[in-house]
Amino acid sequence: MAEAPVITDPFTEAANRLKTLNKVMTTKAAIAQTPKELIWTLNKTKLYRYIPVLPKEKRHPVPLLLVFALMNRPYILDLRPGHSFVEYMVRNGYDLYLLDWGAPGPEDKHLKFDDYVLDYLPRAIRKLKATSEVEEFSLLGWCIGAILTTLYAALRPDDGLRNLILLTAPLDFSNKQGLTFSRWVDERYFDVEKMLATFGNMPGEMLDYGAKALKPVENYLGNYLKLWDNLDDPRVVDAWHAMNTWVTDNVPLAGGAFRQLIVDLYRNDKLMRGEFVVRGERVDLSRIRANLLTVIAEADHITPSCQSEPIMSKVRSKDKELFRIAGGHIGIMAGSGASKHTWPHIDGWLAPRSQ
């Protein structure tokens, strides 16, 4: 017997749309659901290992550690089931780890890149090596995470780093005209010391405002109109809900690290000029010998390609590749096309180098 057609009047339809809108605006989506275990903590930092789904003989022997930015939650890499980079990599046989920096408190306002790169990261890597019983590993750094992994790769090139993947890495700050952030944090307009004296850490909400203000109409209006236009499409609503959950979950940036980001990098471009010093050690990018994959998002308004390209000529890696892909800063890894383009490329590059 044929089913009777569902008749909805315009009022019921409008009510349903409003219910959906209310739900996605006032609740948090279920995110980061790939099974994992906590294997190490230090202060707010946590190291997770994802539960493998393939037997050991079918897995790649070299583990991969994901390092995301300091001022956002790392679960963007594991946004929702069926649309998760983490889930994809685990299914493809990677022994996968994720470093979650956590949210710094007032007691962490002095934390600098020095601490993250020479205390937290090496300790987490030691635990990873002990857990997986390996000597070599791969690192994937995204955004500020790419700065941290680059610093680590240059300062500790003999610690077993075999492969380095940099996603939208802001490393070169020489093109002042091409970087909106550089203009905003110019010392004539922005007093970083006054800011840190007031707040200690850089508040997450202010960082969020800074990122959104680069494209104000899209972020403050277009984003919500897209949701309104697609309220009757569950796929779009679910994706929007998950992304909104992540976007609104802001994390402060430790004061010391924020000062270095603004003064040493945005204002003085010390890393590319070979003047960046971490606990007395000058960071020499030519010491990087790990296999290198640099991924650039062509429509990235936060980290334009001019910030990521120059590292290719600075490193000593014999095996290196620059991969350009259409998309934005976050979209290349969490957008609808990520599973068709970015993830397979990373897997295709990493798999033969993880044997």
For other proteins, which is the closer residue by CB, 231 or 292? 231
Give the C-alpha distances (Å, rounded to integers) separating 260 from 76, 243, 355.
25, 29, 37
In angstroms, the CA 68 to CA 32 distance is: 14
For other proteins, which is the closer residue by CB, 237 or 295? 237
Would you name the residues annotated as active-site residues? 143, 300, 329
Q: Closest distance between other proteins and the C-beta of residue 40, in Å?
A: 8
> If binding is defined by CB under 8 A, does position 107 make contact with other proteins?
yes
Q: Closest distance between other proteins and the C-beta of residue 185, in Å?
A: 9
For other proteins, which is the closer residue by CB, 30 or 221? 221
For residue 85 the two structure tokens come to: 């980079």
For other proteins, which is the closer residue by CB, 37 or 107? 107
Q: Using CB under 8 A, pick the residue from 56, 58, 188, 235 that binds other proteins.
A: 188
User: Which helix H or strand E contains 321, and what residues bound it?
Assistant: strand 320-325
Q: Using CB under 8 A, pick the residue from 81, 105, 234, 274 that binds other proteins.
A: 105
Q: Using CB under 8 A, pick the residue from 14, 25, 175, 222 that binds other proteins.
A: 222
> If binding is defined by CB under 8 A, does position 159 make contact with other proteins?
no
Site string for other proteins, 191-210 (x = CB under 8 A): x--xx--x------------
Strands 45-50 and 161-167: unpaired
Q: Closest distance between other proteins and the C-beta of residue 81, in Å?
A: 27
Q: What are phi and psi of 277, to 5 degrees?
A: -115, 130
Number of residues that bind other proteins (CB under 8 A): 34
Q: What are phi and psi of 32, to 5 degrees?
A: 50, 60
Strands 277-278 and 281-282: antiparallel
Interactions with other proteins, residue window 3-32 (CB under 8 A)? 10
For other proteins, which is the closer residue by CB, 247 or 351? 247
DSSP state of 331: H
In angstroms, the CA 136 to CA 125 distance is: 10
Q: Using CB under 8 A, pick the residue from 12, 16, 41, 174 that binds other proteins.
A: 41
> If binding is defined by CB under 8 A, does position 214 make contact with other proteins?
yes
Residue of 291, 326, 320, 294 lying closest to 307 (CA atoms): 294
Q: Using CB under 8 A, pick the residue from 15, 18, 38, 221 that binds other proteins.
A: 221
Residue of 10, 316, 12, 332 lying closest to 143 (CA atoms): 332
For other proteins, which is the closer residue by CB, 33 or 131? 131
Q: Please spell the DSSP secondary structure of 251-311, one letter per residue.
A: --B-HHHHHIIIIIIIIT-TTTTT--EETTEE--GGG--SEEEEEEETT-SSS-HHHHTTH
Is residue 317 within 8 Å of 288, Cβ to Cβ?
yes
Q: Which residues bind other proteins (CB under 8 A)?
A: 10, 41-43, 105-107, 119, 123, 126-127, 130, 180, 183-184, 186, 188-191, 194-195, 198, 213-218, 221-222, 225, 229, 301
